[in-house]
Amino acid sequence: MRHLIDFGDLPRKEWDALFARASQIMDRPEDFVEVCRGKVSANLFYEPSTRTNFSFQTAMLRLGGTVFGFADPNSSSVAKGETLKDTIKMVSGYADVIVMRTPWEGAAKAASLYSHVPVINAGDGGHMHPTQTMADLTTITRLLGGVDGLSIGLCGDLKNGRTVHSLIKAMEKFNNIRFFLISPRELAIPEYMRVFMRENGMQFTEVTGLEAVIPQLDVLYMTRIQKERFVDPLEYERNKGIYVLTRRKLERAKETMLVMHPLPRVDEITVDVDDDPRAVYFRQARYGMFARMALLEHLALQPRWETVPAVEIGTRPVCTNPRCITQTQTYLPPLVKKIGGVDCCGFCDAALG
């Protein structure tokens, strides 16, 4: 059973085939209207979403399939205390594919242990968002002709920004990428991502200022300060509004630079930037729908897994990350993986103490 939990799990060849398929769908959508006829997607959104939920829904509908699910877990038996395991066992009896977004890091991985159908991670807390990465790579490849050799600025909340973590994971599959990681020190990239970049020989420079590096960039990827992820409200107050891309700042950028943003934005890109031809974030969101169509075709047509292998029962969380799924779903097995020689949680990647 193939799932999509982390973009890092997708071999480069498979991504190239998905991109090629997404391009075919974009160019001739009428050829794909029957591809998922009879298939049903369950969209379980435990957190708010506009783009990911709606683009997955429309992707399935455009392929001839149907969709059910929730955008508010309080409308399901989750509100009565049903475990993630039981919800997934039930839903994977009704659907052919599960698309899920949660505030808990590692939740999609946890779901994949119990599901009879493919699970797609539509964002797990501040951890990963692999299908946003599909939208991002589709945008860069369509508009710049390729990904190799680019200088990419990632700006904003790099600590909590799951889109950034997934994009960095993906870039390991390409050559000669140079990252400028632009953030305040408090919101710097997590250590496990630094370890990942070093382990894979990726070039990165951490800076706090946007204006000094903007002339060097081929892509500027702006991100929102993720208010909902802050444990300390004062930390959010200190950092909100710290980076704002304006038309004046763009004057120093290359004529060919792409301004990208996973959206939603709050105040980090002024509205007058929208009319600059380099601002591609709305196109990026539309490309995401075509990329998700290619992914649904790829995963939802797999035969259902009637017998899911038994999973070891955990008795207590081994991970101390307060946002890890193992903190609330204590029956999960104690999965451990090595990142850069360090023992890390097999669900959320945090280093184990």
Footprint of ligand CP (CB under 6 A) = 49-52, 123, 132, 262-264
Shortest gap between Cβ of 287 and ligand CP (angstroms)?
A: 12
Which is closer to ligand CP, CB of 3 or CB of 101?
101
Task: Identify which of residues 65 and 123 has a Cβ nearer to ligand CP in the complex.
Answer: 123
Q: Which is nearer to ligand CP, 51 or 159 (CB)?
A: 51
Token match 């600025």: residue? 153
How buried is residue 209: exposed, middle or buried, by Cβ count under 10 Å (0-12/13-18/19+)?
A: exposed
Q: Shortest approach of ligand CP to residue 263 CB, angstroms? A: 5
Q: Please, which residue, 51 or 169, has the CB nearer to ligand CP? A: 51
Nearer to ligand CP, 132 or 183 (CB): 132
How far is CA 211 from its chain centroid?
Answer: 27
Least gap, CB of 217 to ligand CP (angstroms): 21
Cα 227 to Cα 47, 119, 132: the distances in Å are 13, 27, 19
Termini Cα distance of the chain: 32
Residue type, position 293, single letter: M
The CB-of-174 to ligand CP minimum distance in angstroms stands at 21
CB of 258 to ligand CP, least distance (A): 16
Cα–Cα distance between 178 and 195 in angstroms, integer? Answer: 16
For ligand CP, the closer of residues 56 and 347 by Cβ is 56
Instruction: Tell me the sheet residues that pair with 137.
Output: none
For the CA atoms of 281, 59, 7, 214, the dihedral, rounded to the nearest 10 degrees, stands at: -10
> Rounded to 5 degrees, what angle do the CA atoms 74, 75, 79 make?
40
CA 114 to chain centre: 21
Q: How far is the CB of 132 from ligand CP (least distance, A)?
A: 5
